[in-house]
Structure 1
Amino acid sequence: MMDENGILFILSGPSGVGKGTVRKELFKRADDLAYSISMTTRERRAGEKDGVDYFYKTNEEFEQLIADNQLLEYAQFVNNYYGTPRKYVEDTLAAGKDVFLEIEVQGAMQVKENFPEGVFIFLFPPSLEELKTRITSRGTESQNAVLKRLKEARGEIEMMDAYDYVVVNDDVDHAVRKVQSIIQSEHCRRERIAKQYKRLLEDDEL
């Protein structure tokens, strides 16, 4: 890879759209991406592991991290905090490795303010009815919570214009292949490699 620094890719979209499923399948196929595990204060779901799915923190611990400016982004969603450790992301990019973030829309907008050179990908549901089915099938939400998430989803979909790419998650395999294409395309952007090419020309004695 000619890029001196890695590229920060942000996958975001409404809750229930399948961000985690797409991310996990992507990482089965790509061994050159670093995943930055988010921190959260929400309760751990069945089967989830600390340090694998999320870093689980208390409200007090999380708020101290905010005060110490140790998060690249953070957001509150359905009364829980979510955030991304700042140092890990910056150090990994500086080492020349791509970083992939899977975060909620609120967090993505903060990253866009703090790190506008990132590549922002919006994962879109085939329909709101399908989104409702996916949320309900989890069996972890009350009816009121499902309705609140759907209301939030409508507002988040309206923020799609802030993203660089949109991928419809109607099929996981298709969605993953589209994300892979975006990653490949971003590495071919002229402005990302122009500096390296100019350096090669300057070093050429011919």
Structure 2
Amino acid sequence: MKKLIIIAGPSGVGKTTISRYLTQKYNIPRVITHTTRPLRSGEQDGVDYYFESADSFRQLHFFEHVKYGSYQYGSSRESLQKSFEKSDIVSLIVETAGVHTYLQELPAQAVFVYLTVSEPAELAQRLEERGDTKSQIEKRLHSPEFKRDLALDDDLLQRAHIIKNDSLDAAKAAIDQLIESLTNV
């Protein structure tokens, strides 16, 4: 059976890093999501995201989409299908608000990984290290979306594999255990 590893957590927690680890170690492709935000330095269209105009974004068939700050983010059915053509296990980075949709629509396939840290103050430093400006960081840390992603509701808590990403090596070890459990079913 095909499996979709859904990765969620607050900004700066390491969602992209863990997704890249899954690709590098296990050849698990990431479902490329769509956004209307501009490219960051070093990002590539079709690799990091599909960077869309507001018009092209509206024409896609989404499982879920959210507004984060002033930009739209969403995961399309087309992109998930492309990824499943490459592998039986794929990963997807979404906001916690989008996790509910996948758990409802793909209950047997969805495996939810929630990344967190012991000290939320650590997230601001990580955002700075990835190149966000001070004003971008302040805006993000005070956004309702960021605050929402710092905690899970009861429904999500029941389905979540919670991984503390205080140490990348420890987080990778927890991911390794999860992948082993998925492939030994």
TM range (shorter): 0.7 to 0.9
Residue 123, structure 1, aligned to residue 110, structure 2: no
- Give the gaps of 5 or more residues in structure 2: none
Give the aligned partner of residue 41 of structure 1: 36
Question: Are the counterparts in 2 of residues 41 and 58 from structure 1 also a CA contact under 8 Å?
Answer: yes
Partner SS, residue 29 of structure 2: strand
Cα distance in 2 for residues equivalent to 1:95 and 1:44: 25
How big is each residue's C-alpha offset from its partner over 1:74-96, in whole Å with a ceiling of 9 and x where there is no partner? 11111111112213424654887
Runs of at least 5 residues in structure 1 that lack an aligned partner in the other structure? 190-206
Displacement after TM superposition at 1:147 (Å): 3.1
SS in 1 for 2:72: strand
For residue 52 of structure 1, the aligned residue among 44, 47, 53 is: 47
Query: Which of 143, 163, 166 is the matching residue for 1:167?
Result: 163
Q: Is the 8 A contact 1:6 1:95 kept in 2?
A: no
* Contact 2:29/2:86 (8 A) holds in 1: no
Report which stretch shifted further, 80-89 or 151-160: 151-160
Which residue of 31, 53, 67 corresponds with 1:76? 67
Match of 2:14 in 1: 18
| Length-normalised TM-score, structure 2 | 0.84
Preserved CA contact (<8 Å) 1:37 1:53: yes
- Deviation sequence 1:9-40 (CA, Å, 0-9, x none): 10110111111112112321112x23211111
Root-mean-square deviation over aligned CA pairs: 2.2
TM-score, normalised to structure 1's length?
0.77
Does structure 1 conserve the Cα–Cα contact (< 8 Å) formed by 2:31 and 2:92?
Answer: yes
Structure ID, larger Rg = 1
Aligned residues: 179
